[in-house]
Amino acid sequence: MDIEYRRILGGNFGDDMNSWFWERLSPGGWSETENTLLGIGSLLGRDRDPNKTWHVIGSGAGYRYPLDLSSSEHWNFLAVRGPLTALALGLSEERGCTDTAILLALMSEFQPLPEDEREGIIFIPHHRAAENCEWGPICEAAGIEYIDPRNESREVIETIRKSKLVLSGAMHAAIIADTFRVKWISVTTSSTINHFKWLDWTSSMNVPYDPVFTGPGSLGGKIQHLVYKYSWASEKIPKNHKKAIAYLKKRNRSGAIQNFRAAAIWKIGALAEKSLRSKTFSKVGKRMDKKAMKVAVRTLRTASESKGMLSDDDIFQHRLTKMEEHLNSIISIKTNEKQ
């Protein structure tokens, strides 16, 4: 069975987990065949090669305009990330189990640590936020530790496991923290954050989605925030399932007019940043940088003082049991393929 996942230039620990995750759960047999697995990541929304069979366990929608795939015979939807993905793809809500990363709980090296063996508060932003801001000095000023989401995935995961609280701009940091029973707080740095994905997963675990907005932390991040806001995204968090689907469609709409508009906004953003970093306007740019940093420091410090979130133990165990059943189905398909 083949494994397909997103490979982000520069790295992203959530997607990069796929490179070793499946081999650790079931050694051998992960090679290119007509059966392809879609697991960790927002990989759903469009149809794929009908000459292959696409097996889905815990993947979600988020970066594609959603198509109804419920009647496609070359799809095997064992489980998707949450009820919103199920709704977007025309599947029954029961298919919305939870995210694949919960299966880390089955690995002996990643068992939760006792409370008294955990220490420290960490911040892990979305990988796009890491590209446009030096979060290290901001976190140091806020009294917390910065963890780069582009670091090696097992290193990031182990740091989460040992922490007392995770401030999470990266959704998989919250998912993994919840898996290790480490409290977490969702953090939004800009309009680049995809609320649909977060709502999909939090709904699956029956926990509220109420993110802390820290701001982008830098001039470059601020411009990126405005570009996304006015070209593709919306800052508003959808209040119900219907609005969440509309939000997903808006983020992924296409067409000549929309593409032209978005391209123009991106060019304006790039020009604005170049101007604010020029000698003529450098003082203005530096003031904007400092203001963004101060806001981020203040909000991260405040967030670090909160209690944090954790899914109910019974709900967590129920979701883990269901995902383990789906994993066994995948392993059975893979095993029969080899025979």
pLDDT at 339 (0 to 100): 58
pLDDT at 338 (0 to 100): 64
Percent of the chain's residues with pLDDT above 70: 99
Interval 78-97: pLDDT, tens: 999 999 999 999 999 999 99
Q: Rounded to an integer, what is the distance from CA 2 to the centroid of its chain?
A: 22
Mean pLDDT over 45-74 rounds to 96
CB 60 within 8 A of CB 99: yes
Residue 57 has pLDDT above 80, yes or no: yes
User: 182: number of CA atoms within 13 Å, CB side?
Assistant: 33
Instruction: Look at 69-73, 232-236, 266-270, 306-310 and tell me which has the smallest mean pLDDT.
Output: 232-236
Residue 35 CB-density burial (10 A; 0-12 exposed, 13-18 middle, 19+ buried) = middle
Residue 15 has pLDDT above 70, yes or no: yes
Q: How far apart are the first and last CA of the chain?
A: 12
CB 231 within 8 A of CB 252: no
CB 319 within 8 A of CB 102: yes
Residue 166 has pLDDT above 90, yes or no: yes
Tokens standing for residue 238: 């959808």
In single-letter form, the type of residue at position 40 comes to I
Of the candidates 320, 274, 301, 22, which has an alpha carbon nearest to the alpha carbon of residue 141? Answer: 301
pLDDT at 104 (0 to 100): 98
Give the pTM: 0.95
Residue 178 has pLDDT above 90, yes or no: yes
Residue 172 has pLDDT above 70, yes or no: yes
The confidence band for 288, taking pLDDT boundaries of 50, 70 and 90, is: confident
Mean pLDDT score of the chain: 94
Distances in whole angstroms, Cα of residue 56 to Cα of each of 39, 99, 229: 6, 11, 31
Interval 131-143: pLDDT, tens: 989 999 999 999 9
Q: Name the 3-class secondary structure at 57.
A: strand
